């Protein structure tokens, strides 16, 4: 996909602003400064985030804002359930890949786990659970810890979180309400409570396992959606605009367009219909 982006754009990232050039993180920098810099750069206030209708809307809006800053996002149904996503750094076309089999809230977290990787000028993988952290050491471990902390703090700002939980007991209703406010998973909210020693590790693990089982059942029960809408969602509006734009300007043949879309020539018409009037499937 990086090669495709390079070819479709004649080697130049088309974004007017490029966050991976304008911001440069280091492991020694304060987390609050990093979070504030990205929040300001993307230009999306916490109240805007809280007012989005649901996690589907949030994912679309975050994706649009990050791609508008020069980082391209693609989605795919990964075979490895334990991997939520990954990123590959490049001086011109950095990309983030998200596992579409994960809940939408997890996909959002993955975006903001991978983004600081790119601002550190490195690639990385987002894996579920803490077991992965115990397998890595040195700077690699410090980077993963930073990226997890960044995503949690960016999506659930501590000042706002502490204000809302002050004087309240932690129960499923409160966790659900906060998860809806921030458009994150219940696990992210509960982890924040654990880090503040508002709950014990046993309670955290019990609820986490229950929610994982719940999500797995929901995934097994879900049916496959429309092929073209799903494929269009995987590629994203920015990429589709580039590919179809070149095709409409007669700079690509239909066969070349099909290759960039990763489909057979006979499927191009269906992809065009999805591109011209689609709603992103969950």
* pLDDT, tens only, 3-15: 999 999 999 999 9
Q: How many CA within 13 A on the CB side of residue 38?
A: 28
Cβ atoms of 27 and 117 closer than 8 Å: no
Question: What is the reported pLDDT for 222?
Answer: 61
In the DSSP assignment, the letter for residue 125 is E
For 218-224, the CB contacts below 8 A with 24+ separation are 219/101
Nearest CA to 174 out of 183, 165, 166 is that of: 165
H helices present in the chain, as ranges: 2-8, 19-22, 31-42, 46-51, 55-68, 104-119, 131-134, 138-155, 158-165, 172-182, 186-195, 201-221, 227-235, 237-248, 254-261, 268-276
Tokens standing for 248? Answer: 């409409």
Torsion angle, alpha carbons of 71, 75, 80, 86, to 10: 0
Question: What is the reported pLDDT for 124?
Answer: 87
- pLDDT tens-digit profile of 177-230? 999 999 999 999 999 999 999 999 999 989 988 887 887 777 666 655 789 999
Strands 124-127 and 72-76: unpaired
CA distances from 162 to 128, 155, 167 (A): 25, 14, 10
- Whether 74 shows a pLDDT value over 60: the answer reads yes
Global pTM value: 0.90
The predicted model gives 164-182 an average pLDDT of 94
- Mention every residue, 6+ apart, whose C-beta is less than 8 A from residue 100: 75, 76, 77, 78, 107, 230, 233, 234
Strands 83-88 and 72-76: unpaired
Question: What is the reported pLDDT for 282?
Answer: 39
Mean pLDDT for the chain? 91
- pLDDT tens-digit profile of 122-160? 998 887 666 666 677 788 889 999 999 999 999 999 999
- Mention every residue, 6+ apart, whose C-beta is less than 8 A from residue 262: 231, 235
The whole-angstrom separation of Cα 87 and Cα 118 is 7
Question: What is the reported pLDDT for 256?
Answer: 97
Least confident of 165-169, 185-189, 224-228, 269-273: 224-228
- Mention every residue, 6+ apart, whose C-beta is less than 8 A from residue 194: 200, 201, 204
Cβ atoms of 231 and 258 closer than 8 Å: no
The whole-angstrom separation of Cα 39 and Cα 33 is 10
In the DSSP assignment, the letter for residue 280 is -
Least confident of 36-40, 86-90, 97-101, 217-221: 217-221
- pLDDT tens-digit profile of 22-58? 999 999 999 999 999 999 999 999 999 999 999 999 9
Cβ atoms of 215 and 185 closer than 8 Å: no
């Amino acid at each position: 996909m990086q090669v495709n982006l390079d070819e479709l754009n004649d080697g130049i990232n088309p974004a007017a602003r490029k966050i991976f050039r304008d911001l440069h993180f280091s492991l020694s920098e304060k987390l609050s400064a990093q979070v504030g810099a990205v929040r300001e750069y993307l230009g999306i206030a916490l109240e805007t985030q809280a007012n989005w209708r649901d996690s589907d809307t949030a994912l679309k809006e975050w994706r649009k804002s990050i791609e508008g800053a020069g980082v391209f996002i693609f989605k795919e149904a990964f075979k490895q359930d334990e991997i939520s996503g990954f990123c590959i750094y490049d001086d011109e076309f950095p990309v983030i890949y998200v596992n579409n089999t994960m809940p939408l809230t997890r996909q959002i977290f993955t975006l903001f786990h991978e983004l600081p990787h790119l601002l550190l000028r490195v690639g990385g993988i987002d894996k579920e659970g803490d077991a992965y952290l115990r397998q890595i050491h040195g700077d690699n471990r410090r980077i993963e810890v930073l990226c997890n902390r960044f995503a949690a703090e960016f999506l659930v700002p501590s000042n706002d979180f502490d204000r809302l939980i002050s004087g309240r007991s932690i129960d499923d209703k409160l966790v659900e309400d906060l998860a809806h406010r921030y458009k994150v998973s219940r696990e992210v909210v509960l982890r924040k409570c654990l880090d503040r020693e508002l709950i014990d590790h046993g309670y955290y693990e019990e609820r986490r396992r229950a929610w994982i089982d719940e999500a797995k059942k929901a995934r097994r029960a879900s049916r496959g959606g429309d092929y073209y809408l799903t494929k269009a969602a995987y590629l994203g509006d920015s990429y589709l605009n580039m590919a179809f734009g070149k095709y409409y300007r007669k700079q690509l043949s239909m066969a070349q367009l099909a290759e960039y879309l990763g489909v057979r020539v006979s499927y191009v018409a269906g992809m065009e219909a999805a591109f011209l009037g689609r709603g992103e499937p969950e």
